[in-house]
Structure 1
Amino acid sequence: MSYADTLGMHVLEATPERTRVTLTVTPGGLNMHGTAHGGLLFSLADEAFAVISNLEAQAVAVETHLSFFRAAREGNELVAVATPERVGRTLATYRVEVRRGEEGEVLALFLGTVARREQRQEAGRS
């Protein structure tokens, strides 16, 4: 079982133009204030970032940043929507908005950059 599975994440969409990952905040994801732990929001954003950045290349994060705007509560469905800001040959930067629901308010904004290299073609394939 992966970390994303342990947290209850599900990929709703995965294209190079937009990737969406969701989870529902459970009691195990709360902090001492009774709201969603910042690490939970970061993990959700990071999963969307990992999925989108590895669709067309092998990618590894080199820098990330997350700004928190609003709190999430138990039972909230959170959706991380990742889109490319700039994709180059060796570096790519993605924006991930963590929202309350599909069209809800933005709770956090994640920006991340990956180092990337093209995926190798299998022998005999063009």
Structure 2
Amino acid sequence: MYKDTLTNNLHKLVRQDPLVNEINGSIGVSLDDFDERIGDFAKQIDIDTATWSLPVYEKELGIITDISKPYVERRQQIISRLRGTSKIGAAELKLICDSYANGNVEIYLDHGIVVEFTSVFGIPSNIDD
């Protein structure tokens, strides 16, 4: 991809030179690889698309890494931990629950805090998290 861009930016006479083509090819491959790596790194910054960076988030948040869990469950646990780091009330508790799949809840007081899961799919499979 970058090889063609580099070559097209050269004068017509220089484009035909085999040495210049080899150099452009080598530089182009390096730039293509660099673009892929930057793209992957950008995905790791967003928790919703992170894969190999999940252990970093888990370590920072004090979560024990369990690689047997699917990425989705690990991401949900990270998001809920990030949301639940301050003083908690009904709104904050709802935000934490909503970060899980099937985490739709209604929260009300009835001789204590009552959390009622309202999703038609039931409670989250990883409710212990």
User: TM-score when scaled to structure 2?
Assistant: 0.25
User: TM-score when scaled to structure 1?
Assistant: 0.25
Structure having the larger proportion of residues in helix: 2
Larger Cα-atom Rg: 2
Structure having the larger proportion of residues in strand: 1
Report which structure shows greater RCO (CA 8 Å, sep ≥6).
1
